[in-house]
Amino acid sequence: MNYTLEPLAADAVSEALELLLTMHRIRFLEEKISELRRQGDIQGSVHLCIGQEAIYAGACAALQRGDRVFSTYRGHGWALACGVPSEGILAELLARETGVCRGRGGSAYFSAVDWGFYGENSIVGAGAPIACGAALASLHAGDGAIAVTAFGDGAMNQGAIAEAMNFASYQRLPVMFVCENNTYAELTPIAETVRDPALFRRARAFGMDGVRIDGNNVHEVQTCVAHYAKQLRDGKGPVLIEMMTQRLVGHYYGDMQSYRPAGEVTQAKLHEPIVRLRERLRRSGVSEDTLDAQCAKAALDINEATQRALEAPLASEATVMEHLYA
């Protein structure tokens, strides 16, 4: 995908540095989670979002307090960008009492509604109809909030996604459907499973707007989400935003990625979000020391949060049956 690295306006540099900090924090968080999983401190299924950080940083920078985010099982980045404390996320994955769900949710199921993060979902595409419910509630409450539901390119072939888009369009619900298209439906290239890999075009069938953007350009993500968030609040109905990206790791922890062509990941690392934003900031006159300081600040935050989370008590077995609903 073609992209530009033109210098930023002087008054945009400060915000760009904050976006860089958020992306670095997500990157270090995911790398730390991978390390803890490898050591056995974290158990169970883990799906990392390394390489897709611009989607979360850019989108959440354009949202407002009260908006609701529903992610896939690859949701650590969304949570952190929503403002969920890194210690609470790490403690949750480590099954500690100080986790955002007191160690009950793990990597694929935690939520943190105080920060507008309404949780992950391991049923592919299942977050979309739930987001429709949240958006319908917002309409009745008149609170002006919107719902964002994120899913992968493979989930676009799930019936729940089509049904949710149809319902949201018919009801003119304030729902933003975000397709994180990293070009692989688990281990299969999406282009090998559909007639038309331009997935945003499916929105037309439901009478709603659809657009494809560069998901590795944090400013393009922020601008697009801000534009459509305003339309949603103005009652103009839902939108499907296809954000093109590449994950730099496997679909899940332990994925050997033997299905990926030789050199694909190496090439992707040249154009990943953090590399690109740092280069744009350099061209805007920001010094290497300033850029490195943001990186160091993010690393310190995640390292300190990890240590505190590891020192917290394990979730109590005595309360394992609490907070269960059926």
List the CATH number of the domain containing 260: 3.40.50.970
Tokens representing residue 160 in the block: 């729940």
* Whole-angstrom distance, CA of residue 228 vs CA of residue 242: 13
* Whole-angstrom distance, CA of residue 239 vs CA of residue 209: 5
Question: What is the pTM assigned to this prediction?
Answer: 0.96
Paired sense of beta strands 147-152 and 184-185, if any? unpaired
Neighbours of 260 (CB within 10 A): 17
Please tell me the predicted confidence (pLDDT) of residue 321: 84
Tokens representing residue 172 in the block: 């003119």
Quick check: is 83 in a domain? yes
Quick check: is 16 in a domain? no
* Whole-angstrom distance, CA of residue 44 vs CA of residue 36: 11
317 CB burial (10 A radius; 0-12, 13-18, 19+):
exposed
Q: Which residues contact 225 (CB under 8 A, 6 or more apart)?
A: 58, 59, 62, 63, 176, 241
Identify the domain containing residue 140 by its residue range.
25-279+296-310
Total residue count of the chain as it appears in this document: 326
Tokens representing residue 131 in the block: 């987001």
Quick check: is 128 in a domain? yes
Phi, psi of 165 (to 5 degrees): -65, -40
For the four alpha carbons of 22, 28, 33 and 34, in that order, the dihedral sign comes to positive
For the four alpha carbons of 276, 278, 283 and 284, in that order, the dihedral sign comes to positive
Token pair 């500690």 is found at 96
pLDDT per residue of the chain (326 residues) written in tens, 0 to 9: 556 688 999 999 999 999 999 999 999 999 999 999 999 999 999 999 999 999 999 999 999 999 999 999 999 999 999 999 999 999 999 999 999 999 999 999 999 999 999 999 889 999 999 999 999 999 999 999 999 999 999 999 999 999 999 999 999 999 999 999 999 999 999 999 999 999 999 999 999 999 999 999 999 999 999 999 999 999 999 999 999 999 999 999 999 999 999 999 999 999 999 999 999 999 999 999 999 999 999 999 999 999 999 999 999 988 888 877 76
| pLDDT tens digits along 294-310 | 999 999 999 999 999 99
Quick check: is 315 in a domain? no
Please tell me the predicted confidence (pLDDT) of residue 3: 63
Tokens representing residue 194 in the block: 């559909």
Please tell me the predicted confidence (pLDDT) of residue 120: 94
Quick check: is 323 in a domain? no
* Whole-angstrom distance, CA of residue 56 vs CA of residue 49: 10
* Whole-angstrom distance, CA of residue 66 vs CA of residue 31: 30
Alpha helices in the chain (DSSP H): 13-39, 53-62, 76-82, 86-93, 106-109, 127-141, 159-171, 218-233, 264-268, 273-283, 288-311
Q: What stretches of the chain adopt beta strand conformation (E)?
A: 68-70, 147-152, 175-181, 184-185, 188-189, 209-214, 239-244
Domain count, the chain: 1
Quick check: is 244 in a domain? yes
Phi, psi of 40 (to 5 degrees): 90, 0
Quick check: is 57 in a domain? yes
Quick check: is 87 in a domain? yes
